[in-house]
Structure 1
Amino acid sequence: MKKYITPLILFCATVLTTLFAGALQQGINLLKEPFRIWEGYPFSLSIITILLGHEMGHYFASKAHRTKATLPYFIPAPSIIGTFGAFIKMKSPILTRKALIDIGAAGPLVGFFLSVAACIIGLRMSKIIPLTRGGEDFFVLGDSILFSLLVKLILGDIPAGYDVVLSPVAFAGWIGLFVTSMNLLPVGQLDGGHIAYALFGRFHSYISRTVIFLIAFLGIFYWYGWLVWALLLLFLGLDHPPVLFWENRLSLSRRIIGGVAFLIFIFTFVPAPFKF
């Protein structure tokens, strides 16, 4: 039972913090009306579902390859989204490249499809409003290729001087796509790092260092948050531990999975996620 207690406590705490964040996004003053926290459920339910789907994708893929893994650990946080995400811990080594691709790609693939669903549903509930002209700053989310296509498909062309105010569900979908792209960076032991190592072996080291350089470049010229992310990845390590059994060849299906994951990364990546 002990192995369930900590994940359950963290999950419940994250439900509360994401409810809190969702209520604040709707302009609710929780100091005056604390019981209205439940009105944050559209965002909370959406982001929890996306994060849980991502981690359970990893979990079940690990089980399929007889790799020991913990249940998801959610990270509650006093932030605009109420969480710093979730993770699972591998408690035994990953044996083969096939397993590495399956485990690395399962989470992002599930999270991606759940995020797209949230975006489609949420954009239908979003509003197009005129931008106030008074010289004030506006907090704007950057668009990935995919999100721009979804906005155009669902809401049509946005007239000049107007912008989209995302519904809580659409905002959760945007966050889900952003988290997916960050996890698919082919660096270290991120999900994208697992996939890159399984596909390219020792060349992963060169890919990892090149990507860190590009992230630092983006941090200088586009969004300072990338510098923080680059430093964190440097601290965690850029290399990948070897698998125990290196197959001579990967099957075509696994190479296709790796290619699909790379395309998802390209279509969900946002050079400047947050700007004014």
Structure 2
Amino acid sequence: MPALFLGLYLSRVVPLPEDFVGMSLGEPLLFQWAAGLTWGAAPEGYTLNLHPVGLAAWLGLLLTALNLFPIGQLDGGHIAYAVLGRRSTAVSLGATVTVVALVFLSASWIIWAVLMIAMLVFLGPRHPRTPDEHVPLDTRRLLLAAVAAAIFVVCFTPAPFSPLDLVAQP
């Protein structure tokens, strides 16, 4: 969080050139809230020129969301297994199928689909069994799982990278 606010503070609001060709970064909720507190809404035709510290913080949000996906040995996989037990495998596969299906509604989901398929291939959908998996979680640990889910929601962005105009207009 400190890096996010510092990076946004060091960033500058600049006019967006009319002939700009490039990519824009998707904005997770946490980034939107922090940018709103730091800069307010950018005027029409302007954009935030993100300082490298801000870019590093944005990347940290992206990687946090990625790590909280409920797949195998990722933290999200550990949490899903702790809460759901062996049913977490179905959640891993279901989440992946859902994201792949969302690609057909919007191409912006392609990055997440590729990442999730790669994670399933390299990490596998199953979490290894644990010796105490039969012991139910107490309220405190269930609350921590809910906090982790909330962190995922505020760090996630459906389209991490969006092309603004990849085909130059004559």
Under a length normalisation based on structure 2, what TM-score does the superposition of the two structures give? 0.88
Q: 2:12 aligns with which of 127, 145, 148?
A: 127
Structure 1 CA distance for aligned equivalents of residues 90 and 134 of structure 2: 21
Aligned to 1:124, the other structure's residue is in SS state: helix
Return the structure number with greater relative CO, CA threshold 8 A, min gap 6: 2
Point out where structure 2 has 5 or more consecutive residues left out of the alignment: 164-170
- Please tell me the residue identity of whatever aligns with 2:89: S
Conserved? CA contact 2:111–2:160, under 8 Å: no
Conserved? CA contact 2:100–2:109, under 8 Å: no
Identity %: 38
Look up the match of 1:260: 147
Look up the match of 1:199: 83
Q: 1:161 aligns with which of 13, 20, 45?
A: 45
**What pairs with 1:143-154 in structure 2 (closer than 5 Å)?**
143-154=27-38
1:229 aligns with 2:115: yes
Under a length normalisation based on structure 1, what TM-score does the superposition of the two structures give? 0.55
Conserved? CA contact 1:122–1:166, under 8 Å: yes
Conserved? CA contact 1:218–1:226, under 8 Å: no
Structure 1 CA distance for aligned equivalents of residues 102 and 152 of structure 2: 16
Equivalenced residue count is 160
- Please tell me the residue identity of whatever aligns with 1:259: A
Conserved? CA contact 1:212–1:230, under 8 Å: yes
- Please tell me the residue identity of whatever aligns with 1:237: G
1:217 aligns with 2:101: yes
Look up the match of 2:167: none
Deviation at 1:223, TM superposition (A): 4.0
Point out where structure 1 has 5 or more consecutive residues left out of the alignment: 1-115
Conserved? CA contact 2:111–2:159, under 8 Å: no
Structure 2 CA distance for aligned equivalents of residues 173 and 255 of structure 1: 28
Deviation at 1:234, TM superposition (A): 2.5
Deviation at 1:210, TM superposition (A): 1.0
1:245 aligns with 2:129: no
Cα root mean square deviation, aligned: 1.4
How big is each residue's C-alpha offset from its partner over 1:85-107, in whole Å with a ceiling of 9 and x where there is no partner? xxxxxxxxxxxxxxxxxxxxxxx
How big is each residue's C-alpha offset from its partner over 1:185-233, in whole Å with a ceiling of 9 and x where there is no partner? 0122211000000011122122111111122234452143223213212
Deviation at 1:247, TM superposition (A): 4.4
